[in-house]
């Protein structure tokens, strides 16, 4: 964007310099035409005045043939030249006016582009500042997460080491359910057999008394 604006600025300066030169040339040309018109009017005006004086003198001499009126043909020619010069001068002024309008339009377009670039740059600078701030925040968060990961990894290693130490102590101590059930059933059966023996060997009434006491 900066490169594009730099190129546009150089082009605008060149266009403005060309306009100033053209405007100066057109202004000088129109003024020269106006001066020429004034000179012609002044010159031919004096001829017309001289012709009028001579015409009055010839009228007073009635006995002589009236001389031709001087300057009438030149006056007509002067009128045509002046008309042409006025048209040329008007064209110069029209061209100057058109060039001025084009220059103002080009300058307005350039100023608009500069303002838009300025606003765009401010917006992009704000986005860059926001992105830098976000990067900084994320960098801090990543650093914190790395610290948390190291601590969690250390704790996990300690737990795994402790579990590894406990495994030899626990191996072989866990008795399967079927084995424990069979052992319990054997104990119950032994108790039942002992009870039966007691009932058979006890004197009459002794075992019933034991049962009451037990109850």
Each residue's pLDDT tens digit, 13-52: 999 999 999 999 999 999 999 999 888 888 877 655 555 5
Give pLDDT tens digits for 65-105. 444 444 455 556 667 888 899 999 999 999 999 999 999 99
Same domain, 124 and 203: no
* Residues 102 and 195 placed together within one structural domain of the fold: no
Domain identity same for 73 and 13: yes
* In a domain? residue 119: yes
44 with 133, same domain: the answer is yes
Q: Does 166 map to a domain?
A: no
164 assigned to some structural domain: no
Q: How many whole angstroms separate alpha carbon 136 and alpha carbon 129?
A: 11
Task: Note whether residue 156 is domain-resident.
Answer: no
pTM of the predicted model as reported, rounded to 2 decimal places: 0.49
Within-domain flag for 57: yes
Residues 95, 185 within the same domain: no
Same domain, 207 and 101: no
Does a structural domain hold residue 162? no
Residues of the domain holding 75: 2-139
How confident is the model over 162-205, as pLDDT tens digits? 888 887 777 666 677 888 889 899 999 989 888 888 877 766 55
Residue 23 lies in a domain: yes
pLDDT at 206 (0 to 100): 56
One domain, residues 100 and 8: yes
With a cut of 60, say whether residue 215 has pLDDT above it.
Answer: no
Same domain (yes/no): 116, 199: no
- Residue 130 has a pLDDT of 94
């Amino acid at each position: 964007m900066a490169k594009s604006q730099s190129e546009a600025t150089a082009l605008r300066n060149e266009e403005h310099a060309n306009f100033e030169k053209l405007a100066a040339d057109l202004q000088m040309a129109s003024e020269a035409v106006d001066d020429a018109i004034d000179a012609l009017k002044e010159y031919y005006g004096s001829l017309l005045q001289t012709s009028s004086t001579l015409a009055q003198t010839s009228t007073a001499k009635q006995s002589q043939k009236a001389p031709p009126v001087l300057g009438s043909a030149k006056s007509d020619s002067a009128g045509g030249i002046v008309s042409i010069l006025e048209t040329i001068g008007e064209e110069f002024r029209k061209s100057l006016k058109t060039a001025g309008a084009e220059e103002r339009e080009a300058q307005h377009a350039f100023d608009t582009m500069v303002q838009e670039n300025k606003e765009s740059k401010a917006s992009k600078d704000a986005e860059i500042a926001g992105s830098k701030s976000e990067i900084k925040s994320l960098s801090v968060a990543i650093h914190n997460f790395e610290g948390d990961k190291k601590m969690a990894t250390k704790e996990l290693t300690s737990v795994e080491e402790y579990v590894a130490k406990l495994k030899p102590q626990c191996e072989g101590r866990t008795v399967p359910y079927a084995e424990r059930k069979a052992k319990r059933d054997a104990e119950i059966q032994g108790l039942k057999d002992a009870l039966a023996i007691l009932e058979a060997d006890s004197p009459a009434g002794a075992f019933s008394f034991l049962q009451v006491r037990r109850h």
